[in-house]
Amino acid sequence: MFWSLYKIAKVIGQFGLGLAALALAGLYYYQNTIIYPASVNDGHGYCATPDEYDIPYELIQLKTPDGETLQCYSMKQDIKSPSYTNKTVLILSPNAGNIGHGLPIASIFYKQFGYNVFIYSYRGYGKSTGSPSEIGLKKDADTVMEFLKTDSQYQQSSIILYGRSLGGAVSIYIAATKSSSIHAIILENTFLSIRKTIPHIFPILKFAAGFVHQKWESELLVINIPSSIPVLLLSARKDEIVPPSHMDKIYNLLQSDYKQFIKFENSYHNDTVLQETYWDQIHKFIKNQVNPVGL
């Protein structure tokens, strides 16, 4: 009898181990789909354009070194206008949707604050070709920065990075590797690394975080951002996706001579942009901490 129970227990154990192995294999091979849900909110369907918000724009198609094409919207102010600020906001999007979903935010920067705005879809998002990955998104960022450096208007403008969630990780990468082209950074609800968010989102997988190959180790890069670049951090203290402690540590790791930390006590991951004073804080930061190029 005991031998039979032993065999049953052994079979159950083997079955459990098999399921665990399948779960880990799924986590390893399908994590890109989880981390980069490009099709959410009809992300591969309709993509709004800036003219729907009464914003003049140019559709830019950038080629990456590995042959992908990035869909970009370039929204420039009239350089001859007396109110021209000579400041450009580069919007780095979160991990879902397409750049059409980011146009309400682009509209605030362009129409209310008077800044140039550049926004693009990561590879595999919107109308951009390819499939998203950490390596690929970093190549996309390099390609966009190269374009901004060679464009006659953007190269003469102060560049402000505005990154939300995944876009914050892309912003940190750009600021740490292309710092000579960056004049300020705005980070909202971003993370130290993807691996360190796993226990917060999926507690059951906390011991499997090592299987995550899309690392985005911002914690290691943020210390390379020069002290001369001012940074504004915007943190939802009830963030259910990125532990607020990640933003706390990023703030502490930053070497910036000027860094400001705004905490929204009753905000969650995706509603921070709707919080009272959010836009006032951003406008004040760019106005007071970012000098136009040449001044």
pLDDT tens digit sequence for 123-157: 999 999 999 999 999 999 999 999 999 999 999 99
Q: Which of 12-16, 82-86, 111-115 shows the lowest mean pLDDT across its residues?
A: 12-16
| pLDDT confidence bin for 174, thresholds 50/70/90 | very high
- In the structure encoding, which two tokens stand for residue 233, read together? 């951090």
> Measured at the alpha carbon of residue 212, what is the angle toward residues 126 and 97, in degrees to the nearest 5?
15
| pLDDT confidence bin for 21, thresholds 50/70/90 | very low
**Residue-wise pLDDT tens digits, 210-226:** 657 677 899 999 999 99
Q: How far apart are CA 290 and CA 185, in angstroms?
A: 10
What pLDDT, on the 0 to 100 scale, is given for residue 209? 54
What pLDDT, on the 0 to 100 scale, is given for residue 195? 83
What pLDDT, on the 0 to 100 scale, is given for residue 8? 39
Topology adopted by domain 2-289: Rossmann fold (3.40.50)
CA distances from residue 169 to 103, 190, 250, 275 in whole angstroms, order as listed: 20, 6, 11, 22
- Residues with Cβ within 8 Å of 33's Cβ and at least 6 positions away in sequence, in order, are none
**Residue 50 · residue 91 · CB < 8 Å:** no
Q: How far apart are CA 116 and CA 125, in angstroms?
A: 23
Strand ranges across the sheet with 58-63: 58-63, 69-75, 116-120, 87-92, 158-164, 184-188, 231-236, 259-264
Greater pLDDT, 61 or 194: 61
Q: How far apart are CA 50 and CA 279, in angstroms?
A: 20
What pLDDT, on the 0 to 100 scale, is given for residue 238? 95
Strands 259-264, 231-236: pairing is parallel
What pLDDT, on the 0 to 100 scale, is given for residue 181? 95
For the entire predicted model, the pTM comes to: 0.88
